Amino acid sequence: MSGGPGTGGRADAVRLTTEEAAVLAGADGPAAATAMRIVTEAARLLGADSLVPIGSAHIDGCLYHGDGGVEFAERLVREEGAVKVPTTLNVGALDLLHPGRVKGDDHRLEMSRRLMNAYLSMGCSATWTCAPYQAGHRPAVGEQVAWGESNAVAFANSVLGARTNRYGDFLDIACALVGRAPFVGLHLDAARRATVVVDTSELSERLRDLDAFYPVLGSWLGRAVGDRVAVVDGLPPTTSEDRLKALGAAAASTGAVALFHVSGVTPEAPTVEAALGGQPPERVIRVTPEDVRATLATLSTSADGAIDAVALGSPHFSRDEFCRLHGLARGRRFSVPFYVCTGRDVLREVAAEGWITDLEAAGVTTVADTCVIVAPILPGHRGTLMTNSGKFAHYTPGTTGYGVIYGSLEECVESGAAGRVVRLTETWT
């Protein structure tokens, strides 16, 4: 049993500017006052002593998890909430472009739609993607922002060099409504310095140049470092955005990784020494081939055999990923449902190339605005899903009831055609 807690927006330890204090007192309307109360409360509990102006926000809270989130968002709308900075929206629980793709009872569908509409009413952009950085939302190096969605947070900090903490549902929109965030953690120089060095030099160059390695490395990294900032050394200087996206998404699933550096690749790590800020590391970890194999084993919960579906696109598939899939799948015929999840901006682009027509002919189902682990899309409640995504591999069992099998993109394509797991090479030795 419990009782009697209260927030009350105590700002004792948090210094507000005159303008911020006026917003808290209601000068900018009731929604902004609610939002400022929440931001100030978050600042207090995180130990911040002031707020920082932000340049943009990405909102995770538009995804339906229950009626409480809808009540909160609709209250902000009733209170005439309007975002103060450019704000993109994460996936919702509906595919607005393909009605009927998401199943579920009428209540769930209705509340999902109401939630998405509430966030649009507050002036957010209808991007509906967990990869806003693939929809043109790319803050500059050093820019202060408030982003939700764990993979987007990791990408914004690590790959773009923007500055955000791991903002969650409710605090994300609160920050957007007042254009402020608690000035603490990764908004400050000190916390962005790497304290852990991850040395990958023991791994073969072939492995380090394999797409399917990056979700595995990310899953390992999240478990190994938790919420500490690591600099990964020894990855190819040409490591692509898609590989960094996959690394970050997996690390933010198994751990609380909001920022990682890759020496010679990411903007705050021209060298290992630079990422360390000239100080000695607290810890140096050498990743071994055994670490990679052991982590790989944790990504699958089912044994190789028959599969019921394939799902790609967590984070949402990029144009480059579609290009590779198109090359592999064109002219094939999948024998199990084969889902590719993406944002509407990327979908528009790749449809214009004609790739979607070819992929649909092969049996691909595109899912836009949402994905298979946040909305009821997969057939039934039991089965085996194959994926090349570390994030799908991590969350699928807990969110869908499906068992999961991890493989490379090529293996997913071959397995989708065969209806059972096809392994292509002794990749991991």
Partner 1 sequence: MSPEGRAVANGRVLLAGTGSGPLLRLAAPISFWGGVDPSTGSVCDPRHPDHGRSLSGSVAWIESTIGSSSSSSVLLELLRLGLGPAALLLGRADPILSLGAVVAVELGYPGIPVVELPAGVPAEVADGTLVEVRADGALRALPGGG
Q: How many CB atoms lie within 10 A of CB 78?
A: 12
**Does 60 help bind partner 1 (rule: CB under 8 A)?**
yes
**Does 314 help bind partner 1 (rule: CB under 8 A)?**
no
Nearest to 263, CA basis, from 197, 190, 180: 197
Which of 20, 41, 242, 410: binder of partner 1 (CB under 8 A)?
41
Pairwise CA distance, residues 88 & 59, whole Å = 6
**Does 171 help bind partner 1 (rule: CB under 8 A)?**
yes
Q: Which stretch binds partner 1 (CB under 8 A): 15-23, 277-285, 328-336, 394-402?
A: 394-402
Q: How far is the CB of 294 from partner 1 (least distance, A)?
A: 14
**Cα distances (angstroms) measured from residue 408 to each of 98, 100, 157, 282, 295:** 27, 29, 26, 34, 15
Length of the chain: 429
Pairwise CA distance, residues 231 & 272, whole Å = 7
Beta bridge pairs of residue 66: none
Task: Name which of 70 and 232 has its Cβ closer to partner 1.
Answer: 70
**Does 104 help bind partner 1 (rule: CB under 8 A)?**
no
| DSSP one-letter string for 109-150 | HHHHHHHHHHHHHTT-BTT--S-GGGTT--PPTT-B-EEBSH
Pairwise CA distance, residues 288 & 281, whole Å = 19
Task: Name which of 21 and 256 has its Cβ closer to partner 1.
Answer: 256
**Does 256 help bind partner 1 (rule: CB under 8 A)?**
yes
**Does 28 help bind partner 1 (rule: CB under 8 A)?**
no
**Cβ-based burial of 282 (10 A; exposed 0-12, middle 13-18, buried ≥19):** exposed
The contact pattern for partner 1, residues 269-308, with x = CB under 8 A and - = no contact, is -----------------------------x--x-------
Which of 16, 24, 36, 38: binder of partner 1 (CB under 8 A)?
38
Name the one residue in this structure whose structure tokens are 């696109």: 313
Q: How far is the CB of 61 from partner 1 (least distance, A)?
A: 7
**Does 381 help bind partner 1 (rule: CB under 8 A)?**
no
Which of 394, 407, 409, 422: binder of partner 1 (CB under 8 A)?
394
Binding site for partner 1 (CB under 8 A): 1-7, 34, 37-38, 41-42, 45-47, 60-61, 63, 65-69, 71-72, 75, 148-150, 153, 165-172, 182, 185, 222, 226-227, 252-256, 298, 301, 373, 394-395, 397-399
